[in-house]
Amino acid sequence: MKILIATDMEGITGVTTWDQVTPGHAEYARFRKQMTEDVNAAIRGALEAGADEVIVADGHWNGSNILIEDLDVRARLNTGSPSPFSMMQGIDDSVDGVIFIGYHARNGSSHAILDHTWSSKTVANVWLNNILTGEYGLNAAVAGHFGVPVIMVSGDQTACAQVVELLGNVETAVVKQALGRFAAECLSPEVTRKTICVSAERAVGQLTKGDFPNRFALDMPITVTVEFFTSDMADRASLIPFTKREGTRVSFTAQEMTSAYRGFRAMVTLASG
């Protein structure tokens, strides 16, 4: 049983501000430690339930947030950027289940800590075949491409609800109740570590019994539509051949999800200028 733990930082225990997730800020040092501990809790739970291999993907910013010296020695860490699969680095058809740790809601959500979609300065909305989604949907679709289900998510209540709405019966570990974009009622790390560990254990336990949520498999070909915040961003994104432009929206169609994911990342990189 092989588990990929795909991580982000906005949904980590206690995080409520950009400073806490931005390298260079004094607060960041505290919360990368916290991120490592939330991940360790998921590793413990997964191994307890019978996983024999755990891979972690550091998916926030430049992918160098998790402190490898403090990470559970039984896991391997994908770190650094850009990597072929970014937030999902480590995914392939040998993985049995994906756990999302520290996830956040899509841009434009209410009661959602640091809600955004991939780039808080660039992307307003993303649709996969007309399904409005966030990073959770993009990443779940990459897992789905390899036939792998997402079995658990941790984050605020809105991030967890959006994942359940899209994917169905996914285990959730709510670590904070968001009251806005920058305010939340947060549980103590001691409490959230237990919750995350128990959720991961339950999710992997169910997986070993063959009972898991639907894989997120999209109808192919896949049309990706990105709405940018400003028209100059769309100007740059539409330099990519075979894209279609409508105001601040740029779309393209890919034959399968790994190409759709690469095309999306290329558009955002270009648009960010």
Known catalytic residues are 116
Stretch that binds Zn ion, among 24-32, 54-62, 153-161, 235-243 (CB under 5 A): 54-62
Q: Is the bond preceding 84 in cis, omega lying within 30 degrees of 0?
A: no
Q: Is 149 in contact with 163 (CB distance < 8 Å)?
A: no
Crossing angle (nearest 10°) for helices 135-145 and 257-272: 150
Q: How far is the CB of 60 from Zn ion (least distance, A)?
A: 4
Q: Does 60 bind Zn ion (CB under 5 A)?
A: yes
Q: Looking at residues 9 to 28 of the shown chain, list those that interact with Zn ion (rule: CB under 5 A).
A: 9
38 binds Zn ion (CB under 5 A): no
Helices assigned H by DSSP within the chain: 26-48, 135-145, 157-167, 189-208, 231-237, 257-272
For the bound state, the minimum distance from the C-beta of residue 87 to Zn ion, rounded and expressed in Å, comes to: 8
Nearer to Zn ion, 9 or 196 (CB): 9
- Shortest reach from residue 135's CB to Zn ion, in Å: 8
Which of 102/205 has CB closer to Zn ion? 102
Residue of closest CB approach to Zn ion: 60
Among 7, 8, 153, 195, binds Zn ion (CB under 5 A): 8
For the bound state, the minimum distance from the C-beta of residue 213 to Zn ion, rounded and expressed in Å, comes to 23
Buried b (16+ CB within 10 A) or exposed e, 12-35: bbbbbbbebbeeeeeebeebbebb
Q: What's phi and psi for 169, nearest 5 deg?
A: -75, 65
Query: How many residues bind to Zn ion according to rule CB under 5 A?
Result: 3
Q: Which lies closer to Zn ion via its Cβ, residue 115 or residue 227?
A: 115
Judged by beta carbon, residue 10 or residue 96, the one nearer Zn ion is: 10
Q: Residue 115, interface with Zn ion (CB under 5 A)?
A: no
When the beta carbons of 100 and 212 are compared against Zn ion, the nearer one is 100
**Could you tell me the two tokens for 60?**
């926030």
> What order of strands is seen across the sheet that includes strand 2-7?
75-78, 53-58, 2-7, 97-103, 150-156, 171-178, 184-186
Q: Which residues bind Zn ion (CB under 5 A)?
A: 8-9, 60
